[in-house]
Amino acid sequence: MNNPGRTETVLSICRKIGRMLRLNLVAIFIFRFSRFAAFIILVKWCSKPPTIPEDCMTIERIHSIPDFLNLKEDWNALLTQSASHVPFLRHEFQVQWWMNLGGGEWDSGDLEILVQRDPDQKLTGISPFFISNQKMQFIGSYEISDYLDLIVAPDNLSRFIREILDYLSSDISPDWKTLDLYNLPENSPSITIMEEAARAAGFQTKLEIIQPAPSVQLPSSWQAYLDSLEDRYRQEISRKIRNADSYFLPVDWYIVNEEHNLDQEIDDFLDLMANNPEKERFLTDQMKKQIKASARAAFDGGWLQLAFLVVGNQKAAGYLNFDFDEKIWIYNSGINSVFENLSPGWVLLSKIINWSIDQGKTELDFMRGDETYKYQFGGIDQNVFHLQIKK
């Protein structure tokens, strides 16, 4: 005989068991899904590039020459990532400038290089400063380093500049009145960021153009280069080359390499420079020592281009350039006045440009100065700036 009460109890128990099973299944599903979701989130989080908190970056002061010398490898590696990848910021050039204080441009000074490091002690920013008479400036200022800048990757520039200004505002900074940043290239992002950050920090700023710096973008052929020039200059260059080719003495040219005596070649170049009265006054004994040291450092680094035009057995013209970062940087020149009728400077520069195009160089940078010949050879101006920051 059926018992209705018992049947209802059994059904109630079954319903409870069903609900418990369903809840368990849901719980298992949620647990497993949450583990999977957590795994996905973890993978995505791990795949993101790490960001470095600002308070984890540290500023270190470099005052001694040994510490300066020890930075070479990391310094040059960071320079390749910087907006201003220029030869004057190479560690070897900066060291030689400091050892000779710009060929006597400065009587004295103290190193005040500020470097930024991440938590792993990797070098992430360099402000290559020195201080003299309460003026803080770039190592290399001012005369013989055409371009100068901070050495830092563009995506870290704003942070690095803030840290520099924080340091200069602190009690531990040296006694300075003016930060003079000379020879900043027009395309340097440091100009705008530093000026705006300095004003925001309460400093006075002044920005001015120092000089133009003409340059030429090189095409794929010598003929294309000639075709890009004004008619009168194209014709003049072609005429001077023809005259050299038909000169009564053999005319040739070469670039100094390991087979040559570099010291002798540099001396010969300085003799050619001294034929110009203005350059002769510039070439003090200290400046000659500076140029020799800088040229040697560039040669050892593989980026010196010292070229000569030879007429008969005499050097008629010389160019001391830098072959750096797929560009040719025209630094200085000298002419033998005996061969002025041959226009040896034009002839040699034409040879250098033709060679540069054949080598796949992208640009010829005439650097600071508005000498007429730079525009005759197709130079287009960019400017070089001076940013002054005062307390």
Average pLDDT over residues 164-178: 95
Q: Is the pLDDT of residue 345 over 60?
A: yes
Decide which of 242 and 3 is more confident: 242
Average pLDDT over residues 69-87: 98
The whole-number pLDDT of residue 57 equals 66
Q: Is the pLDDT of residue 51 over 90?
A: no
Q: Is the pLDDT of residue 6 over 70?
A: no
Q: Residue 176 burial by CB count (10 A; 0-12/13-18/19+): exposed, middle or buried?
A: middle
Tokens at residue 363, please? 């640009």
Range with the lowest mean pLDDT among 4-13, 104-113, 205-214? Answer: 4-13
How far apart, in whole angstroms, are the C-alpha atoms of residue 287 and residue 130? 19
CATH number listed for the domain at residues 54-212: 3.40.630
The whole-number pLDDT of residue 27 equals 40
Find the farthest-apart pair of alpha carbons in the chain and give their distance in angstroms, rounded: 138
Tokens at residue 94, please? 């900066």
Q: Is the pLDDT of residue 278 over 70?
A: yes
What's the CATH class of domain 215-365? alpha beta
CA nearest to 189, candidates 149, 229, 142: 149
Tokens at residue 23, please? 């809840």
262: left (phi over 0), alpha (psi -120 to 50) or beta: alpha
Fold: same for 54-212 and 215-365: yes
Mean pLDDT of the chain: 90
Percent of the chain topping pLDDT 70:
85
The whole-number pLDDT of residue 58 equals 81
User: Could you tell me the residue ranges of all domains in the chain?
Assistant: 54-212, 215-365
The whole-number pLDDT of residue 210 equals 98
Average pLDDT over residues 325-345: 98
The whole-number pLDDT of residue 21 equals 39
Range with the lowest mean pLDDT among 28-42, 44-58, 263-277? Answer: 28-42
Percent of the chain topping pLDDT 90:
85
